Amino acid sequence: MQILIAFILGAVIGIGIHFQLHQRLTRGVVLAPMIGAVSAGLAWAILTWLGVGIDTPWPWLAALVVPIVVTYPAVLLISRSRVAHDTREKTRLGIG
Protein backbone atom coordinates (compact mmCIF):
# COMPACT_ATOMS: atom_id res chain seq x y z
CA MET A 1 0.00 0.00 0.00
CA GLN A 2 2.92 2.40 0.52
CA ILE A 3 3.53 2.38 -3.24
CA LEU A 4 0.47 4.62 -3.50
CA ILE A 5 2.41 7.28 -1.63
CA ALA A 6 5.13 7.02 -4.27
CA PHE A 7 2.57 7.42 -7.06
CA ILE A 8 1.05 10.46 -5.36
CA LEU A 9 4.45 12.05 -4.70
CA GLY A 10 5.44 11.50 -8.32
CA ALA A 11 2.20 13.03 -9.59
CA VAL A 12 2.60 16.07 -7.33
CA ILE A 13 6.18 16.56 -8.51
CA GLY A 14 4.97 16.23 -12.09
CA ILE A 15 2.31 18.90 -11.52
CA GLY A 16 4.96 21.22 -10.15
CA ILE A 17 7.22 20.61 -13.13
CA HIS A 18 4.33 21.15 -15.54
CA PHE A 19 3.58 24.57 -14.12
CA GLN A 20 7.25 25.51 -13.71
CA LEU A 21 8.26 24.99 -17.34
CA HIS A 22 7.32 27.17 -20.28
CA GLN A 23 5.24 26.12 -23.28
CA ARG A 24 2.43 24.60 -21.21
CA LEU A 25 0.05 24.90 -24.13
CA THR A 26 2.13 22.51 -26.24
CA ARG A 27 1.49 19.52 -24.00
CA GLY A 28 -1.41 18.07 -22.11
CA VAL A 29 -1.97 18.91 -18.48
CA VAL A 30 -1.76 15.22 -17.52
CA LEU A 31 1.53 14.39 -19.28
CA ALA A 32 4.00 15.57 -16.62
CA PRO A 33 2.04 14.18 -13.63
CA MET A 34 1.73 10.80 -15.35
CA ILE A 35 5.44 10.65 -16.16
CA GLY A 36 6.22 11.57 -12.55
CA ALA A 37 3.79 9.06 -11.08
CA VAL A 38 4.93 6.19 -13.29
CA SER A 39 8.63 6.89 -12.70
CA ALA A 40 8.18 7.12 -8.92
CA GLY A 41 6.07 3.96 -8.79
CA LEU A 42 8.53 2.10 -11.00
CA ALA A 43 11.49 3.17 -8.84
CA TRP A 44 9.62 2.08 -5.70
CA ALA A 45 8.67 -1.27 -7.24
CA ILE A 46 12.19 -1.99 -8.47
CA LEU A 47 13.69 -1.26 -5.06
CA THR A 48 11.05 -3.42 -3.41
CA TRP A 49 11.73 -6.29 -5.82
CA LEU A 50 15.44 -5.95 -5.05
CA GLY A 51 14.67 -6.51 -1.38
CA VAL A 52 15.04 -2.95 -0.10
CA GLY A 53 12.50 -2.54 2.68
CA ILE A 54 10.31 0.45 3.35
CA ASP A 55 11.97 0.86 6.73
CA THR A 56 15.06 2.22 4.91
CA PRO A 57 15.16 5.70 3.37
CA TRP A 58 15.99 4.49 -0.15
CA PRO A 59 12.47 3.90 -1.51
CA TRP A 60 11.34 7.20 -0.05
CA LEU A 61 14.27 9.10 -1.54
CA ALA A 62 13.77 7.36 -4.88
CA ALA A 63 10.10 8.40 -4.87
CA LEU A 64 11.27 12.02 -4.54
CA VAL A 65 14.38 12.10 -6.73
CA VAL A 66 13.52 9.81 -9.66
CA PRO A 67 10.44 11.76 -10.82
CA ILE A 68 12.46 14.98 -10.88
CA VAL A 69 15.32 13.39 -12.80
CA VAL A 70 12.99 11.73 -15.31
CA THR A 71 10.11 14.18 -15.69
CA TYR A 72 12.00 17.45 -16.09
CA PRO A 73 14.08 16.46 -19.15
CA ALA A 74 11.22 14.43 -20.65
CA VAL A 75 8.83 17.38 -20.52
CA LEU A 76 11.51 19.71 -21.91
CA LEU A 77 12.20 17.37 -24.85
CA ILE A 78 8.52 16.80 -25.57
CA SER A 79 7.79 20.54 -25.52
CA ARG A 80 10.72 21.37 -27.81
CA SER A 81 9.72 18.61 -30.18
CA ARG A 82 6.15 19.84 -30.33
CA VAL A 83 7.17 23.46 -30.97
CA ALA A 84 9.54 22.37 -33.76
CA HIS A 85 6.85 20.17 -35.30
CA ASP A 86 4.26 22.96 -35.16
CA THR A 87 6.72 25.36 -36.81
CA ARG A 88 7.43 22.87 -39.61
CA GLU A 89 3.71 22.30 -40.14
CA LYS A 90 2.97 26.03 -40.29
CA THR A 91 5.75 26.47 -42.85
CA ARG A 92 4.54 23.52 -44.89
CA LEU A 93 0.95 24.77 -44.89
CA GLY A 94 1.95 28.38 -45.55
CA ILE A 95 0.33 29.66 -42.37
CA GLY A 96 1.81 32.71 -40.61
DSSP codes joined into one string, the chain: -THHHHHHHHHHHHHHHHHHSS-GGGS-TTHHHHHHHHHHHHHHHHHHHTT--TTSSHHHHHHHHHHHHHHHHHHHHHHHHHHHHHHHHHHHHT--
Q: What is the pLDDT of residues 42-74, one digit of tens each?
A: 999 999 999 999 999 999 999 999 999 999 999
Query: At residue 96, does pLDDT exceed 90?
Result: no
Determine the Cα–Cα distance for residues 87 and 55; give it in Å rounded to an integer.
Answer: 50
Query: What is the phi/psi pair of residue 2, to 5°?
Result: -70, -20
Query: At residue 1, does pLDDT exceed 90?
Result: no
Question: Number of structural domains, the chain?
Answer: 1
The domain of 10 spans 3-93
pTM for this prediction: 0.92
Q: What is the pLDDT of residues 13-43, one digit of tens each?
A: 999 999 999 999 999 999 999 999 999 999 9
